[in-house]
Amino acid sequence: MTAPALSPTLALACELINRPSVTPLDEGCQQLMSQRLAACGFAIEPMHIEDVENFWAIRGNEGPVLCFAGHTDVVPTGPLQAWQNPPFSARIDEQGMLHGRGAADMKGSLAAMVVAVERFTADHPDHKGQIAFLITSDEEGPAHHGTKAVVERLRERGQRLDWCIVGEPSSTSLVGDVVKNGRRGSLGGTLTVRGQQGHVAYPHLARNPIHLAAPALAELAAEHWDDGNAFFPPTSFQISNLNAGTGATNVIPGTLEAVFNFRFSTESTVEQLKQRTAAILDKHGLDWNVDWALSGLPFLTEPGALLDGVAKAIRSVTGRETTPSTSGGTSDGRFIAALGTQVVELGPVNATIHQVDEHILASDLDLLTEIYYQTLVNLLAC
């Protein structure tokens, strides 16, 4: 489709998709967004942290802050020959599907946010409160120097954030059918169990860590950690990798390494999970060590001004009721929620995120723009 045939949101989405911003690269996406926001009265603050481009933008001087948050980086494409259309050449096909890496996750949402805010500030130049943007290029990567680092700077200066909409692709079948109002915590661990290396023909002279660890790993996998609650499913434990052996078939290994992860609800704490894990490992008499890695604590936005404002906007635009959910992996919302901010995630249908030939229904981005606009009206219109 030619540019004149595109809506403002689709035109901007295509411009963003055409930039090969594979994490942690930004490739000018944030500059494009910043220019648009500056033109409607935002103060722009670029934050280059290590190798990551971020920016903070705000309009208004007092009152509650509604922040739009998201990321300009995308995951790698995989084999280019597997794509029907070049991943960084946005295309709308005959069925009305917008193709390109980032269409769903999450350049489409970024375009919808910018256009919604442009329209809202034009219609309501003296709106209540403040509107902000927190944008990073380090969400799909290690996430050390992106939103997490920006939030720390905002915390140090006492910047308030009352409400935040993260543009993650939350929808399941139809745009707005699901919004994320929280996420489970993620606690990873690398377990090392030490035995004694030896010859397989002389097992009495060795201690096989695979044999020693197997009952403990089975017990960890079968353990009932909690019951969850009205907002979260029960905590889960999964082993994602096991490694032992020297490469020879006649050698009993000296160590076993197991990588595992807890996705945990608010019914369990990090310390409780660590203590219960240690108790099971000790019960089996293992010589063990765990290197722990906390990716994020669980967070929850209960019904209130933000969730009500978003649900009302979805209802008015689509005629459907939305379902709050805490399912899925982690997102940058976990860092923003740590400020005491009400956080929801609202974006396009997530069916093809991180896949070859990522695509969404192009018209969904115009719906999403209208939902963002109506949310602004619900929360900040005079």
Catalytic residues: 73, 139
Query: Buried b / exposed e across 227-247, counting CB within 10 Å, b at 16+?
Result: ebeebbeebebeeeeeebeee
Query: What phi and psi values does residue 80 have, to the nearest 5 degrees?
Result: -60, -30
Nearest to 62 by CA among 134, 147, 162: 162
CA 117 to chain centre: 22
Task: For residue 69, list its beta bridge partners.
Answer: 134, 166
Q: How far is CA 218 from the centre of its chain?
A: 30
Cα separation of 202 and 252, whole Å? 9
Amino acid at 146: G
- What letter does residue 137 receive in the DSSP assignment? S
Count of CB atoms within 10 A of residue 139's CB? 27
Per DSSP (E only), the strands in the chain are 43-49, 52-59, 65-71, 91-92, 97-99, 130-136, 163-166, 178-180, 182-183, 185-194, 198-199, 236-244, 251-252, 255-264, 288-296, 299-300, 323-325, 342-345, 359-361
Neighbours of 298 (CB within 10 A): 24
Q: What whole-number distance in Å separates Cα of residue 351 and Cα of residue 359?
A: 9
**Residues written for the chain:** 382
Spatial separation of the C-alpha atoms in residues 157 and 340, rounded to whole Å = 15
* CA dihedral sign of residues 67, 161, 139, 352: negative
Q: What is the spatial distance between Cα 113 and Cα 287, in angstroms, rounded to a whole number?
A: 53
User: Pairing state of beta strands 251-252 and 198-199?
Assistant: antiparallel
* HSE-up (13 A, CA, CB side) for residue 223: 22
